[in-house]
Amino acid sequence: MNKRHFIQTTAALAATLAFGSAHAQTPIKFQLDWRFEGPAAFFLQPVAKGHFKAAGLDVTVDSGNGSGGTVTRVASGTYDMGFADMAALMEFHANNPDAPNKPVAVMMVYNNTPAAVLALKKSGITKPADLSGKKLGAPVFDAGRKGFPIFEKANNVSNVAWTSMDPPLRETMLVRGDIDAITGFSFTSLLNLEARGVKAEDVVIMPYADHGVKLYGNAIIASPKLIAENPAAVKAFLTAFAKGAKEVMANPVAAIETVKARDGIINVALETRRLQLAIDSVVASPDARAEGFGQANPGRLALMASQVSDAYKTKTRINPTAIWNGSMLPAAADPNVLPPAKK
């Protein structure tokens, strides 16, 4: 074989392999729980840096409009995987016992629920007991509101009156004094209050996780069809995601550029802060360090299932073993993705 023929043959072979590998990419449609805000960097980073592609996956990430919608769309087959609140996933399972394609959580990301009660210091509310007899506000589907009976029971709160509103009005009504306190994701509502002229030091934040309510937050969920047909793809996704997550937590400022690339009108400084607050409060929390990133403790999961069954008044009791499958998580030998604990 002459040199020219060898080069042509080699080039043709390389092109064939490249063509084959491109077509071997497994497509994964993924939906977030919300808009392209700071925490979306966890999923946009492994896309932007090619981690999913290197794992043989062609991942598309779309924004969402709430965890309940994400669970429903994965259940319907519109999406293969998603990011959703564990309580919303549990509620779907218990209220749709005969659904043929109930999504399953495969990796914990928010080891603690971001749900919190927020009030302004001038209201005189400084602790959960002060909420008794007060007027609280939140959208009807808010995770903190739906889980409030658990917070209420854990802290002996009683006689609370609820006011409902659309999400954009929640913090506005608190600032105006129409309500005494709100429930919401701590890192979102705090920034929303600041955007309305309230100083951070004038806000009282009572995270559920710090007040006796150890609910899990958001997890990566997958269609049981995908798990059954291609568990290797799910494992590849989680391994690539963990690699990206480690990079995000090591350098949130750089990672936020992946969000900016998807939504050019975001406030970079604000979303960087939102991302850092999420990392500190729910991703790299003490509970996450104790259990291991991505993991779920069976006893804690069972307690949450019981608490959510009661608080959400589900049609059937939640079976904790039916909503979690940790068999595709990256090997325990993989380096921990969490950053060093802050001193």
Q: Which of 78, 90, 328 is nearest to 228 (CA)?
A: 328
- Give dist(CA 230, CA 226) in Å, integer: 5
Specify the amino acid at residue 83. Answer: F
Q: By mean pLDDT, which of 9-13, 34-38, 80-84 is the weakest?
A: 9-13
pLDDT at 7 over 80: no
Q: How confident is the model over 300-310, as a mean pLDDT?
A: 97
CB 219 within 8 A of CB 309: no
Pairing of strands 218-222, 181-185: unpaired
Instruction: Give the residue extent of every domain in the chain.
Output: 3-111+216-322, 115-210
- Give dist(CA 87, CA 100) in Å, integer: 19
- Give dist(CA 160, CA 285) in Å, integer: 29
Give, in order, the Cα–Cα distances in Å from 61 to each of 44, 45, 158: 7, 11, 42
Q: What are the pLDDT digits (tens) for 228-285?
A: 999 999 999 999 999 999 999 999 999 999 999 999 999 999 999 999 999 999 999 9
- Give dist(CA 225, CA 219) in Å, integer: 18
pLDDT at 10 over 80: no
CATH topology of domain 115-210: D-Maltodextrin-Binding Protein; domain 2 (3.40.190)
Provide DSSP, 112-160: S--EEEEEEGGGT--SGGGGTT-EEE--TT-HHHHTHHHHHHHTT----
- Give dist(CA 288, CA 187) in Å, integer: 18
Q: Tokens at residue 108, please? A: 């914990």
Q: Tokens at residue 20, please? A: 């084959």
- Write down the mean pLDDT value for the chain: 92
The residue ranking higher by pLDDT, 126 or 20, is 126
pLDDT for res 285: 93
pLDDT at 5 over 90: no
- From edge to edge, which strands make up the β-sheet containing 135-137? 161-163, 135-137, 181-185, 115-120, 203-207
- Give dist(CA 139, CA 277) in Å, integer: 22
Q: What are the pLDDT digits (tens) for 195-221?
A: 999 999 999 999 999 999 999 999 999
* Helices within 56-169 (DSSP H only): 67-76, 86-95, 143-146, 148-154
CATH number belonging to domain 3-111+216-322: 3.40.190.10
Query: 3-class DSSP state for residue 24?
Result: coil
